[in-house]
């Protein structure tokens, strides 16, 4: 069972005299900017701002559904929803976000609200994106519906990835006005899926005995885990594949000593860093693990813009996307994490060495599982990875029929479920999330 994510109350920190002086100066400078841009947002987007005050939008900022019946918690939630909508519609919103983060850090706060995200800074420098979502029952039932459509025709594995779960134990203080529901959501989804008889993996169990720290396993400027964590997780997926297909995999191919480690230090500014500002988060290293033994691959993919791409060669040439290391025009790298095929809607990787298990894996995945699928390709003949968010007009069952896989893996993170920008074609009843 997972441990609770705990932290000292970030709002009880008492600033030093210098902090209070800095905060006062920032307040004087910040308020006129907020006022001016707020007026602009009000004039230019009145309908969107009015919509943000509706219960359907504001409820995500409530700690519980019960609070929705109380005047002051609901008022606070509506104000927060309005503020976040303003932040998304005003010009220079990113720059204002950086100023807001710096302002809150200067006050000694460890939780910064940016848009609809509540970013909690932990003592080890990690940033955790808290959630107050009350239910993911509809999303879990949709997975069950897809499993039932398969009707036992192919082994099916479900994996739930809880973003940035911390191996430490830092207790949330009593009276803290935001209650993180991440663990409860994970328990709910996994409970529904397992009750349906579906084998399921819980990422909260992956690294408990690994000996690695959170800083080894998770990026500090982004919600994703590191390439090291993905490589470690690959072994857990491989064990399940062996058990469910009866086919042995050569897992020695994913031993750490079988890889050359290539590190690009201080390269990557992830989503949290983009929101909070590099000055507040720093930069992440990006690491690639390249097999030292002989490999031979073909990779065919459909890029995010619909462009087909074909590559052949060893793992480094065919599977790794080195152009992810290229910087944006402003000199910032925000794509370093996609070096293992993140941006594709559909990706087929074929291992041509002959020294691998004769299996075809169909993996429905989001960004967390992209590197896992790449590493699995070192041990199996065919890996097909699909991001259903980018497959408009194509159903999951159509893909199963097309590729006739030996195993289907459904590996999604909490964010994927929360956003729900996909359709499995197995029925989706959003009213279940109101429970």
**14 or 277: whose pLDDT is higher?**
277
292 has a pLDDT exceeding 70: yes
Q: What count of Cα atoms within 13 Å lies in the side-chain half-sphere of residue 176?
A: 20
Q: What is the pLDDT of residues 336-383, one digit of tens each?
A: 888 887 667 899 999 999 999 999 999 999 999 999 999 999 999 999
Average pLDDT along the chain: 82
Task: Quote the pLDDT of residue 84.
Answer: 66
Phi, psi at 112, each rounded to 5°: -115, 125
Q: How confident is the model at residue 173 (pLDDT cuts 50, 70, 90)?
A: very low
177 has a pLDDT exceeding 70: no
361: which 2 tokens? 């894996």
Task: Quote the pLDDT of residue 37.
Answer: 56
234: which 2 tokens? 């690959």
304 has a pLDDT exceeding 90: no
Task: Quote the pLDDT of residue 413.
Answer: 94
Contacts of 122 (CB under 8 A, 6+ apart): 7, 110, 128, 166, 168, 170, 214
Q: Nearest to residue 234, comparing CAs of 249, 216, 221?
A: 249
Phi, psi at 347, each rounded to 5°: -140, 125
Cα separation, 276 vs 99, in Å, equals 8
What is the 3-class SS of 344-387, one letter each residue? Answer: CCEEEEEECCCCCEEEEEEEEECHHHHHHHHHHCCCEEEEEEEC
DSSP code per residue over 256-319: GGGEEEEEEEEEE--HHHHHH-HHHH--EEEEEEEESS---EEEEEE-TTS-EEEEEESIIIII
User: Is the separation of the CB atoms in 264 and 407 below 8 Å?
Assistant: no
Cα separation, 273 vs 283, in Å, equals 8
Contacts of 372 (CB under 8 A, 6+ apart): 230, 233, 234, 237, 363, 365, 411
Task: Quote the pLDDT of residue 132.
Answer: 83
Task: Quote the pLDDT of residue 433.
Answer: 79
Over range 72-79, report the average pLDDT.
Answer: 73
* Residue 188: CB atoms within 10 Å: 18
Write the Ramachandran bin of 245: left for phi over 0, alpha for psi from -120 to 50, otherwise beta: alpha
Task: Quote the pLDDT of residue 12.
Answer: 34
Task: Quote the pLDDT of residue 41.
Answer: 55
Query: How far are the Cα atoms of 245, 340, 372 from residue 376, in angstroms, in the given order?
Result: 14, 12, 6
Cα separation, 235 vs 378, in Å, equals 12
β 407-413/156-161 pair status: parallel
Q: What is the pLDDT of residues 206-253, one digit of tens each?
A: 998 889 988 899 998 998 999 999 999 999 999 999 999 999 999 999
Task: Quote the pLDDT of residue 8.
Answer: 32
DSSP code per residue over 95-113: HHHHHHHHHHHHTT-SEEE
- Report percent pLDDT > 70 for the chain: 72
Give the DSSP H or E segment for 127: strand 127-130
- Report percent pLDDT > 90 for the chain: 47
Over range 271-286, report the average pLDDT.
Answer: 87
Cα separation, 418 vs 435, in Å, equals 15
**174 or 291: whose pLDDT is higher?**
291
Cα separation, 136 vs 127, in Å, equals 23
Task: Quote the pLDDT of residue 31.
Answer: 57
Cα separation, 191 vs 198, in Å, equals 10
- Alpha helix stretches (DSSP H) within 157-285: 182-195, 214-217, 227-245, 271-276, 278-281
Q: How confident is the model at residue 49 (pLDDT cuts 50, 70, 90)?
A: low
C-alpha angle 216/221/225, rounded to 5°?
40
Task: Quote the pLDDT of residue 364.
Answer: 97
Q: What is the pLDDT of residues 373-432, one digit of tens each?
A: 999 999 999 999 999 988 888 899 999 999 999 999 999 999 999 988 888 988 787 777
13 has a pLDDT exceeding 80: no
- pTM reported for the whole predicted model: 0.79
User: Is the separation of the CB atoms in 418 and 430 below 8 Å?
Assistant: no
User: Is the separation of the CB atoms in 249 and 241 below 8 Å?
Assistant: yes
């Amino acid at each position: 069972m997972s441990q609770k994510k705990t932290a000292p109350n970030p709002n009880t920190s008492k600033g030093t005299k210098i902090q209070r002086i800095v905060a006062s100066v920032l307040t004087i400078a910040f308020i006129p900017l907020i006022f001016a841009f707020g007026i602009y947002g009000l004039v230019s987007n009145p309908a969107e701002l009015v919509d943000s005050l509706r219960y359907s939008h504001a409820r995500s900022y409530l700690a519980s559904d019960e609070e929705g019946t109380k005047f002051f918690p609901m008022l606070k939630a509506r104000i927060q929803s309005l503020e976040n909508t303003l932040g998304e519609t005003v010009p220079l919103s990113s720059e204002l976000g950086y100023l807001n983060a710096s302002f809150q850090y200067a006050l000694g706060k460890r939780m910064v609200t940016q848009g609809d995200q509540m970013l909690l800074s932990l003592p080890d420098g990690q940033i955790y994106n808290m959630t107050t979502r009350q239910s993911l029952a509809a999303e879990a039932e949709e997975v069950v519906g897809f499993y039932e459509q398969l009707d036992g025709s192919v082994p099916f594995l479900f994996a739930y990835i809880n973003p940035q779960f911390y191996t430490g134990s830092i207790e949330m203080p009593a009276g803290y006005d935001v209650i993180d529901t991440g663990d409860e959501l994970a328990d709910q989804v996994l409970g529904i899926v397992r009750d349906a008889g579906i084998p399921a993996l819980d990422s909260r169990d992956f690294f408990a005995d690994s000996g690695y720290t959170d800083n080894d396993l998770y990026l500090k400027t982004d919600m994703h885990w590191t390439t090291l964590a993905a490589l470690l997780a690959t072994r857990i997926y491989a064990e399940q594949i062996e058990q469910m297909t009866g086919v042995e995999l050569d897992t020695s191919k994913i031993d750490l000593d079988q890889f050359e480690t290539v590190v690009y230090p201080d390269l990557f500014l992830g989503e949290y860093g983009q929101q909070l500002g590099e000055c507040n988060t720093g930069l992440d290293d990006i690491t690639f693990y390249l097999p030292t033994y002989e490999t031979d691959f073909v990779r065919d993919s459909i890029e995010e813009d619909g462009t087909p791409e074909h590559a052949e060669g060893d793992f480094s040439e065919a599977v790794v996307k080195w152009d992810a290391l290229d910087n944006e025009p402003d000199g910032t790298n925000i794509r370093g994490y996609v070096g293992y095929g993140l941006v594709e809607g559909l990706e087929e990787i074929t291992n041509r060495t002959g020294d691998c298990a004769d299996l075809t894996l169909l993996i429905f995945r989001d960004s967390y599982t992209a590197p896992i699928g790449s590493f699995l390709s070192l041990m199996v003949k065919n890996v097909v990875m699909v991001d259903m968010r980018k497959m408009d007009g194509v159903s999951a069952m159509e893909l199963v029929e097309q590729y006739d896989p030996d195993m289907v893996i459904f590996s999604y993170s909490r964010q994927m479920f929360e956003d729900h920008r996909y359709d499995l074609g197995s029925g989706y009843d959003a009213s279940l999330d109101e429970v």
